[in-house]
Amino acid sequence: MTAGLREHARRIWQAAVESARPEPLVRRALADLADVLRSAPRILVLGGGKAGAAMADAVESVLGDRVEGIVNVPADALRSLALPARRIKHNAARPAATNFPTAEGVAGSEEMLRLARTAGPDDVALCLLSGGGSALLPAPALGVTLADKLAVTKLLHQCGATINEMNAVRKHLSAIKGSRLAQAFTGKTMVSLIISDVIGDPLDVIASGPTAADPTTFADALAVLDRYQLRAQTPGAVLAHLQKGADGKIADTPKSMPGNVRNLILGSNVKALADAQTCAESLGYRVLNLGSFIEGETRHVATMHAGIVRSIVEKNVPIAPPACILSGGETTVTLAANPGKGGRNQEFVLAAFLKLGSTANVVVLSGGTDGEDGPTDAAGAFADASTLQHAKSLGLDGADFLQRNDAYHFFQAIGDLLITGLTQTNVMDVRVLLIGDHSSTG
């Protein structure tokens, strides 16, 4: 029975990914913007993110030689495109399975800023933003180096800072984030087409808000470093820059946007979960959709989900089997001193099933909709009762792997990694927990 549940879980998760495919989303948006685009002498295309290559490909397919520009994308995204870019440069701004800024990303971001400043009074800019945009759009502020920004980003990742906290810092160390790209644009209209990878879809947080007003301040950025006691480890140039801003010696990021800038959310975790729910219901499951506002320490979130599964299995509460629990959002992992290899989705699945143990007719799947989970080639993982049985036969102690943040090697040994390759989109994580009808022994 669990073989069937596994297949269903994969289909439900895939429905969430399909909901966020860039091509149809972009094509619909461009049709709605036809009046804005029709009279523009130039259409500049700028931006970055994990969906950037596919979004740019869709724009160029519709608008042809009317466009010019550059988007920063992961290197692997280029190899999976059906057609090469003609007028929109796809700049490989980072290698695969990393989420840190590079010199190539800096060069591409600076080229975007130069292009934005060349816009004529009737020109239009399309800004393509998606998950991963923060790391893919690094243009350090004056006096701050890429190495400085990289050091701070690593510190924030290691201590489990939230995406909002990381972006509050990164925006105030950047020449392009925190609405600075919109500020550089000298044309008639800028429209950002956005595939959101952030809880609640706040415009100022997605890709660190290159075209959105920024409510955070230099003082907020310093407060994040203090919250995690990072000042002593932070490069001096970073502290000096943030302190100058807090003292009013550097202009803060814009707190409002001009009327010629529009931001449109095309895809999101909420929409992805809705399509996953439709798929699950078509397969005969009662669905409990916990929504996209799930955050916190991964292991704690996994324990909560496992508790709901047990309640359904033992008490038919809050719904009876066959049941599907869906949840989205993005959790965090606080790393051990010498962490192994893995990501929050793999860690979620391992932690959940250590709680569930040998519970029959249950499958847990968690995956990043971008096809990546941490610095690995896996989107996430599967688990059911056979997973722990297989682990036991191999002499693997799941609790030990969890303690070392080494879920990747645990699931790799068993063959339960979810490997999809890059999906060309990113709307955070989707978790699918299926509980089969226990009237059957499977």
Q: Which two tokens stand for residue 181?
A: 């790209």
Q: Which two tokens stand for residue 165?
A: 């906290």
Burial class of residue 222 in the structure, from the number of CB atoms within 10 Å of its CB (0-12 exposed, 13-18 middle, 19+ buried):
buried
* CA distance readout (Å), 254 to 2, 182, 194: 53, 10, 20
Q: CA 386, CA 357: separation in Å to the nearest integer?
A: 10
| Bridging pattern class, strands 380-383 and 417-418 | antiparallel
* CA distance readout (Å), 440 to 236, 396, 422: 64, 30, 37
Q: CA 110, CA 226: separation in Å to the nearest integer?
A: 30
Residue whose token pair is 């490989």: 92
Q: Single out the residue of 174, 435, 214, 419 nearest to residue 320, CA to CA.
A: 435
Q: CA 252, CA 255: separation in Å to the nearest integer?
A: 8
Domain 21-139+174-217+252-267: give its CATH superfamily. Glycerate kinase, MOFRL-like N-terminal domain (3.40.50.10180)
**Sheet (strand 189-195) strand order:** 88-94, 67-74, 43-48, 124-129, 189-195, 261-267
Say which CATH class 2-15+270-435 falls into: alpha beta
Which residue type sits at 427?
A: V
Residue whose token pair is 């495919």: 21
pLDDT value for 440: 46
- Tens of each residue's pLDDT in the chain, 442 residues: 577 999 999 999 999 999 999 999 999 999 999 999 999 999 999 999 999 999 999 999 999 999 999 999 988 877 555 555 579 999 988 775 567 789 999 999 999 999 999 999 999 999 999 988 988 999 999 999 999 999 998 899 888 888 789 889 999 999 999 999 999 999 999 999 999 999 999 999 899 999 999 999 999 999 999 999 999 999 999 999 999 999 999 999 999 999 999 999 999 999 999 999 999 999 999 999 999 999 999 999 999 999 999 999 999 999 999 999 999 999 999 888 889 999 999 999 999 999 998 899 999 999 999 999 999 999 999 999 999 899 999 999 999 999 999 999 999 999 999 999 989 999 999 999 999 987 544 3
Residue whose token pair is 């890059």: 422
| All structural domains of the chain with their residue ranges | 2-15+270-435, 21-139+174-217+252-267
Does residue 285 come out as left (phi exceeding 0), alpha (psi in the -120 to 50 range) or beta?
beta
Query: 289-306 burial, b for 16+ CB within 10 Å, e for fewer?
Result: bbebebbebbbebbebbb
pLDDT value for 402: 97
- Alpha carbon dihedral 244, 249, 252, 256, in 10-degree steps, equals 160
Is there a cis peptide before residue 140, judged by omega within 30 degrees of 0? no
pTM: 0.89
Helices then strands (H, E): number in the chain? 18, 12
Q: CA 328, CA 433: separation in Å to the nearest integer?
A: 12
Q: Is the dihedral of CA 252, 196, 402, 300 positive or negative?
A: positive
Residue whose token pair is 């990742």: 157
